[in-house]
Each structure stands twice: as structure tokens, then as C-alpha cells.
Chain A
Amino acid sequence: MIETNSIALVFFAFLLVIGVAVTVQRNLFAASMLTGIFSLVSAALFTLMDAVDVAFTEAAVGAGFSTVLFLATLALTKDTEKPGVKRPFAATFVVLLTGGALIYGTLDMPAWGTSEAPIHAHTASYFVTHSITDIGLPNIVTSVLASYRGYDTFGELLVVFTAGTGVTLLMQRKGLFRPGALAIPPKSRAPYVREMPVVRAVAKTMLPFILLFALYVQAHGDFGPGGGFQAGVIFATGFVLYGLIWGPAKLQPIIGGRPVQGLMASGVLLYGGVGVFCLLMGYPFLDYSALTPDHPVHGQHYGIFLVELGVGITVSAVMLIIYFVFSVRPRVGRGAGELGP
């Protein structure tokens, strides 16, 4: 245990240093990259805490997609922050008070890592001991995610869908999704990447493998870390790589059309449709035993496959649309053209 704890301490020290660096760094490009590194180190820490699925998601989302998103925003706004902070003493007081109260609260918590903690007592121990007979999948996290707590996951998927719709509504312009609307490429923000033959060749080589890996993660989520959420983000990241190197105008014919918007909704519909089908068969909502009533465990397998597919489709479509609407938006307003020569 000493070894794990000392590794954890090293990672915590990294996280603190990176966090302070993000705080003091006034160049927001650098701060965004540091936040990506923060996510990657925290993913390593999640692995140390046995949360392999969470680590996988954090590495794909935090270090991959969300960094690109922040950089895309900074390309549209100003990339340096004004010096000075607002009401530093009040902020420090509030933060110290909150932190002190939280630490005081932890004094009543059971020791870290003890197996007698109340959190392990009720449903969690049932999941660990019974999910192999109820559902029959080796990965307990997938069983809980898609079957035992399928309602939760459906709600989260709806939140992702709503956020995707909200971003589209906020950023949409006339003709954004019409094929050929971007026939004249928008003024390039990073002309150099597109001129680099090495980068283009390697990206072209890796792209099919990235998409294949996403499909593997989607299908293998029943047996190891993975599933719809991770696969959706990785699938979208493949296209984001394409868009970063060849420019949004090349990406538009592939993902800019109505079909991607339709996919965004159809994943949610697939998930909800499985639930409604269960209802129609006379079972509770999202009780997948309804799919094959004479063999409930098989029904669970089919159900989990279908809802994970729905999750993967919606998540990848939402991520693609979010990246797309950010990348094609022209830069307007004061200080336009500050970035790049």
C-alpha cells in the first residue's frame, strides 16, 4: 500500500503544481494546454484508484476533446487575460471557508480505502456479487451503467443531447448545415499545418485506426473498460483531427449536413425506444429481459448492446456538431485578426 500511496502523492503534487500554473498563467492558450495535462494526470490517478472506465473517459474527453474546444473558443476570442483579479480577499475568504468546512466534514468520514465504509454496504455489494448471474457481463461498471441504473444513463444522455442542441442554436448561422455553404474556405487561422506533408501523411495513416479503435471500444465495453460514452468521444476525435488538419471546409461535406443532426436525435430515440419496447412487452421501462422473455440474461445482453449503441451514436454526433459549429464560426469584433500572422 505504501507504493500506491507514494505514487498517488506524486500525482497529487503534479496536479497541485499544474493547477497553480493554470491559475497564474495569463496566456490562455498555455492555460488550456495545462488544463489538458491536468486531465491526463488525473486520469492516471483514477487508474490508481481502480476506476479504469472513468480514467478512460477522462483521458479521451479532458485531454482530447475539451482542450480542442477551449482552443477553438480562444481562436474566436482574445487569448490573453488582463492582469489582476477581482476582489482577491473576498474570493480567498470564501474559498478558505468552504475548504475548511469540507475538510471539517471529512473528519467524520471512514478512513480512506476501508472496505467497511457505508458506501460499499447496500446496492454496491449487491452489484458486485449478483451482476454476473443477473446480467452475465464481466465488466460490472457496464452492467450498472446500462442495466441497473439505465434510467440515470438515459437522463445523462438527454442532457448531452440538450447541450448539443443548445450549442447548435447559439452558434448556428444561416446555411451552416447546407451542403456547399462553405465552398469558399473560411479565412485560415493556422495555414501552416495544412502545408505540412508529414503531418498530413501520418494523420491520414492513423485516421482509420482511430475510428477502428472507437468501434472496438464500443463493442468491447462489456468485457473491459469502454462503452458508448468513450467510443463516441474517440470516434468524434478522429474527425476533429481531420478538421484540424484539412480545415472545416473539407469537413463540412462529411459531417456538416442534416444526417449528423439526425444521428444526434436517433441515438436518444434508440435508447428510449428499447425502453418503450420493454413497456409494450409488459415489463418495466428499460428491463431488457423483455427482449428475450424465455432467456432473461440474453435479453440483458441485447439490451445493453442496443442502449450502448444509442449512447455512442448520440455522444459522437453531439461532439462532432459542437466542434463543427465552433470551427466554422468567423472571428468578428474588436481585436479580430490578432491571432497568427
Chain B
Amino acid sequence: MSIVETIMQYIGAALILGGSVFCVIGAIGVIRLPDFYSRCHAAGVTDSAGAAGVLFGLCFMSAPLIAFKLITILAFLWLSSSVATHALVQAAYARGVRVENPRVKDWTHGQETSAKKEGEA
């Protein structure tokens, strides 16, 4: 194995490790964060940063054609998972899921009541 290949292997391993760390952070966030919206954000970290780290790491470790396929997968994943999270949060907002973080002003509540008032009027 040439020196360049060895370096590539190490870069790949480091990226995979970094991606895994983001996955763990996302998992902790899903358990620890107080309400639905912030938990969605944590799950989004797993999808975007975690998957990106692992897939880029694998790119460094594989042949060019496979690397191209992995990048295509990553593009699809970024597009679809971020849109899925967007749709999920929109649906939750539309059904009136509340923000329960004490440090954040409950804008959901305010919006909902104003919408109701408009409806009544």
C-alpha cells in the first residue's frame, strides 16, 4: 500500500469517526431535548452531519466510481431528509404541537390563538 493510500485510509477513518460522533450527538439530543421541534433538530443532525461524515469517509476509502455513487446517495439523502424534516415540523405546527422549552418564547401558542381569533372574526 502506497503512502498516499495509507493517508487516504486515515482521513477516511477520521471522517467516519467524526460522522459517528455526530450520530451519537443526534441520538442524545433526541432523548434529552425538551420538545418536539428541538428533537427534530437533533434528528436532523444525524441525517445531515452524521451521514455526511460517514459517506465522505467511505469515499476516501473506495474506488472513484463507488465514491461517485456514494456522493449521489449523499445528495439524495440531504435533499430528501431535510425536506422530510421540514414537512414533519410543518405538519406538527399545523396540528398545534407546543414549544415546551422554557427559554424559548412559545410562538406556536401565540400564532395559534391569533389564527383562531381571525377565524372567529
Contacts and interface: CB of A to CB of B under 8 A. Distances in A.
Direct A–B contact in the complex, CB atoms closer than 8 angstroms:
yes
Interface of A: 190, 192-193, 196, 198-199, 202-203, 205-206, 340-341
- Where chain A touches its partner, the secondary structure class is helix
Interface in B88-119: 90-91, 94-96
B86 A192 contact: no
Contacts of B91: 190, 192-193
Contacts of B6: none
A192 B94 contact: yes
B120 to A, nearest CB: 15
B21 to A, nearest CB: 18
Interface in B1-40: none
A193 B79 contact: no
A341 B95 contact: yes
Given A206-B79, A206-B80, A198 B86 contact: yes
B87 A199 contact: yes
5 contacts: A192-B91, A193-B87, A199-B83, A206-B76, A206-B80
B26 to A, nearest CB: 16
Nearest to A341: B95
B30 to A, nearest CB: 14
Interface in B60-96: 76, 79-80, 83, 86-87, 90-91, 94-96
A206 B79 CA distance: 9
B80 A196 contact: no
Contacts, number: 26
Contacts of A341: 94-96
B90 A202 contact: no
A199 B87 CA distance: 7
Given A198-B83, A199-B83, A199-B87, 10 more contacts: A192-B91, A193-B87, A196-B86, A196-B87, A196-B90, A199-B86, A202-B79, A202-B83, A206-B79, A206-B80
A139 to B, nearest CB: 17
A193 B91 CA distance: 8
Contacts of A199: 83, 86-87
Contacts of B96: 341
A190 B80 CA distance: 19
Nearest to B91: A192
A223 B57 CA distance: 27
Nearest to B92: A192
Nearest to A193: B87
B78 to A, nearest CB: 11
A203 B80 CA distance: 9
Residue among B79, B83, B95 with most chain A CB within 10 A: B83
Contacts of A202: 79-80, 83
Contacts of A340: 95
Contacts of A203: 83
Contacts of A192: 90-91, 94
A204 to B, nearest CB: 11
Contacts of A198: 83, 86
Contacts of B90: 192, 196
A328 to B, nearest CB: 22
B80 to A, nearest CB: 7
